[in-house]
Amino acid sequence: MFIGHFTEEPWQVENWPEEWGPGIIKVSNSEYDPRLAHDLYNRYIDEKIYAEEMGFDGLMLNEHHSAPFCLNGVANVQAAILARVTKKAKILLLGNILPIHDDPLWLAEQLAMIDVISNGRLIPGIVRGAGSESIAHNAPPHYNRERFEEAHDFLIKTWTTPGPFRWEGKHYQYRYVNPWAVPMQKPHPPMWVPGTASKETVEWAARHRYPYIMLSTQEEITKQMYQVYYDTAKEEGYEAGPQNLGYMFFLHVEETTEKAMEVGRTLTQGVRSPFDPGVSKPIPWILSPPGMNSKGAKAMQRQMLAFDSTGRSRAGALASFEDQVATNGMVVGTPESCIAQIRRIMETLRPGIIIFRTGDGAMKHEDQMRTLKLMGEEVMPAMRDIAKELDLPGPYDVEPAAAAAV
């Protein structure tokens, strides 16, 4: 089993107006305080270094743009830092937003350097990104999937084909491709794909035999998307297994249930993700501009949000803290109770990759460090035993050929 650590790395201030929500697009960067940002960036890096010390297999990074709920606007910068200051943990990018890149050759060089500096520990996950990313970077939403797929194909060719060569695509053209930096890992670093509601992206990942990671989704929707992966794998002539699928969810662990509930509540406070509850629903044109997503993906997004007649969602990331705990969107409790809940998830969904989302919202540094310690000392060792019992291999527990075709 592969166990990862993730936090959205939110902006943290006590006087953030509730009506600003996650702050995407609509809040001026005049509110940005570089001194506070200095403290927060270094705090989050320190937490990731400690997560490696506690035994996490991977340190997940993502990026969002013009978005105070995620300070990590350029994930590759932090990945480069971690490549130098960590020793064992995989550096898991989930991921680089391919459609907003007008120069994927530059991206190929960045990732190659990170892989080399880390001695082959990079997992360069790739994403299509939310609509806000396309808006912030003036990328045409209706070409989002085309640019994603072509940029991916270009990255793979650049890493696996000796230069120089030409590239004449629909969205990218190069007369000369011959980067001096190429990755340590051969034939190229392993690609992973995260997502939530796009059947088309799940099918694409399965066709490429890339692990697919569901991000903070309800269990029933997760099962549906896993089945899409399994079915596509069969069509492609191989049998997918736990090593092909992952699941990310919130976790907070304390010595007592009372403390866990008290501190865990801060995960849903402060500067929030646009997928978390706030004073208003997500703005549709920001999350999904016209032409960016299929009708099926939009229908799945509506199912995920699941507002009732009162305008409230009682399941998934838009639910209250109490409802998220009640519906298993968050696992909060003592080591013993958390292990029991995690075991049920492992039995029900059978993922070979689990990524814990911790330290979000208004959670303080000392609270995050305390839960990481308990995870390393008690929760993760038990999980590894359960994974062996249930036969849940991760991507690094099987031979590469077996990972592609069990």
Listing DSSP states for 99-116 in one string gives GG-S-HHHHHHHHHHHHH
Least confident range of 35-44, 227-236, 296-305, 345-354: 296-305
Q: CA–CA separation, 151 vs 139, rounded Å? A: 13
Least confident range of 74-83, 255-264, 279-288, 334-343: 279-288
Q: CA–CA separation, 262 vs 333, rounded Å? A: 10
3-state helix, strand, coil in the chain (%, to 5): 45, 15, 40
Q: CA–CA separation, 262 vs 320, rounded Å? A: 14
pLDDT grade, residue 273 (50/70/90)? Answer: low
C-alpha distances (whole Å) from 177 to each of 146, 153, 154, 158, 166 are 21, 14, 10, 7, 6
Q: What is the DSSP letter of 249?
A: E
Average pLDDT over residues 164-174: 98
Average pLDDT over residues 376-383: 98
Statement: residue 26 has pLDDT above 50: yes
Percent of the chain with pLDDT over 90: 72
Residue matched to tokens 């990862």? 4
Statement: residue 75 has pLDDT above 90: yes
State the alpha helices, DSSP H only, in 137-194: 144-160
Say what the pLDDT of residue 340 is.
98
Average pLDDT over residues 290-301: 62
Least confident range of 173-177, 270-274, 386-390, 394-398: 270-274
What distance, in Å, lies between the first and last C-alpha atoms of the chain?
16
Statement: residue 327 has pLDDT above 50: yes
Closest C-alpha among 147, 29, 171 to residue 96: 147
pLDDT grade, residue 330 (50/70/90)? Answer: very high
Statement: residue 403 has pLDDT above 80: no
Residues recorded for the chain: 406
Greater pLDDT, 14 or 159 = 159
Q: CA–CA separation, 397 vs 374, rounded Å? A: 25
For residue 250, give the 3-state DSSP assignment: strand
Say what the pLDDT of residue 23 is.
81
Least confident range of 58-67, 115-124, 156-165: 58-67
Q: Are 228 and 209 in contact (CB under 8 A)?
A: no
Residue matched to tokens 């530059």? 106
Q: CA–CA separation, 35 vs 22, rounded Å? A: 20
Average pLDDT over residues 142-152: 95
Statement: residue 305 has pLDDT above 90: no
Q: Are 338 and 325 in contact (CB under 8 A)?
A: no
Residue matched to tokens 């990328």? 139
Say what the pLDDT of residue 278 is.
41
Structural domains in the chain plus CATH codes = 2-404 (3.20.20.30)
Say what the pLDDT of residue 61 is.
98
Query: Which tokens is 378 given?
Result: 């008690």
Q: Are 245 and 233 in contact (CB under 8 A)?
A: no
- Model confidence, pTM: 0.91
Statement: residue 129 has pLDDT above 90: no
Secondary structure (DSSP) of 283-334:
-HHHHS-TTTS-HHHHHHHHHHH-B-TTS-B-SSTTS-HHHHHHTTSEEEE-
Say what the pLDDT of residue 86 is.
98
Least confident range of 90-104, 116-130, 248-262, 317-331: 317-331
Q: Are 315 and 327 in contact (CB under 8 A)?
A: yes
Percent of the chain with pLDDT over 70: 87
Statement: residue 276 has pLDDT above 50: no
Neighbours of 85 (CB within 10 A): 12
pLDDT grade, residue 123 (50/70/90)? Answer: very high
* CA contacts within 13 A on the Cβ side of 174: 21
Q: CA–CA separation, 318 vs 168, rounded Å? A: 43
pLDDT grade, residue 268 (50/70/90)? Answer: confident
Closest C-alpha among 64, 138, 212 to residue 147: 138
Q: Residue type at 386?
A: I
Query: Which tokens is 333 given?
Result: 């409790």
Say what the pLDDT of residue 402 is.
47
Say what the pLDDT of residue 316 is.
58
pLDDT grade, residue 24 (50/70/90)? Answer: confident
Reported as a single tens digit per residue, the pLDDT across 190-238 is 999 999 878 999 999 999 999 999 998 888 899 999 999 999 999 999 9
Average pLDDT over residues 391-406: 74
Average pLDDT over residues 312-323: 68
Say what the pLDDT of residue 404 is.
47
Query: Which tokens is 24 given?
Result: 């995407």
- Sign of torsion, CA 207 213 217 221? positive
- Axis crossing angle, helix 219-235 with helix 335-349, rounded to the nearest 10: 40
